[in-house]
Amino acid sequence: MSNNLDALYQEVILDHNRKPKNFREIENADRRVDGRNPLCGDQVTVWVKLDGDTVSDVSFKGTGCAVSKSSASLMTAAVKGKSLSETKQLYDKFHDMVTGKMTDAERAQMGSLAALGGVSKFPLRVKCASLAWHALKSALDDGGEVSTEGDT
């Protein structure tokens, strides 16, 4: 179990928790969505700036645990500059990874996001890791506020 714990709280995760990337508002954002986890009170807001079909800028702010904060931070770094369809594909892959539906080889293709693979061993923490991603997906779909108590 201790190995799992080390895999969950890798240095990358702790670093992003300490100094999250893109932890700011985007003033002239095209989309903005609030995400909430009603079970624990975690809250995140995601801002997206689009340039045609491309996510030209993305940011977040909020309160949450190391898993949710680092996941949001890594997400913003990973999707900036990606097209809408690439971003949605990445959302699906990320979801597969944290819910344990991915092989090690596939996970190795996930780049810096692979650091969150350890979450799959902690089913109770999947919602923490997914919160910002749910908000991003809703933002891209032009949807409203999201809650982890919808689909996961």
Confirm if 74 and 16 have CB atoms less than 8 A apart: yes
For residue 136, give both structure tokens.
């991003």
Q: What is the closest distance, in whole angstroms, from the C-beta atom of residue 125 to other proteins in the complex?
A: 7
Determine if 65 is a binding residue for other proteins (CB under 8 A): yes
**Any contact of residue 101 with other proteins (CB under 8 A)?**
no
Q: Which amino acid is at 152?
A: T
Interface segment toward other proteins; rule CB under 8 A; list 2-10, 49-57, 87-95, 138-146: 2-10
- Cα gap 122→98, rounded to integer Å: 9
Binding window for other proteins (CB under 8 A); candidates: 20-28, 36-44, 100-108, 134-142 = 36-44
Please identify, using beta-carbon distances, which residue of 20 and 31 lies nearer to other proteins.
20
Tokens 């904060």 correspond to what residue?
Answer: 69
Based on CB atoms, which residue is closest to other proteins, 5 or 108?
A: 5
Share of the chain residues as helix, strand and coil, in percent rounded to the nearest 5: 50, 20, 30
108 is a site residue for other proteins (CB under 8 A)? no
For other proteins, the closer of residues 41 and 52 by Cβ is: 41
Rounded to an integer, what distance in angstroms lies between the CA atom of residue 77 and that of residue 9?
A: 19
Q: What are phi and psi for residue 58, nearest 5 degrees?
A: -150, 140
Could you tell me the smallest distance in angstroms from the CB atom of residue 48 to other proteins?
Answer: 24
Residue 123 in the binding site for other proteins (CB under 8 A)? no
- 3-state secondary structure at position 39: coil
Q: What is the binding site for other proteins (CB under 8 A)?
A: 1-3, 5-6, 8-9, 14, 18, 39-43, 63-67, 69, 122, 124-125, 128
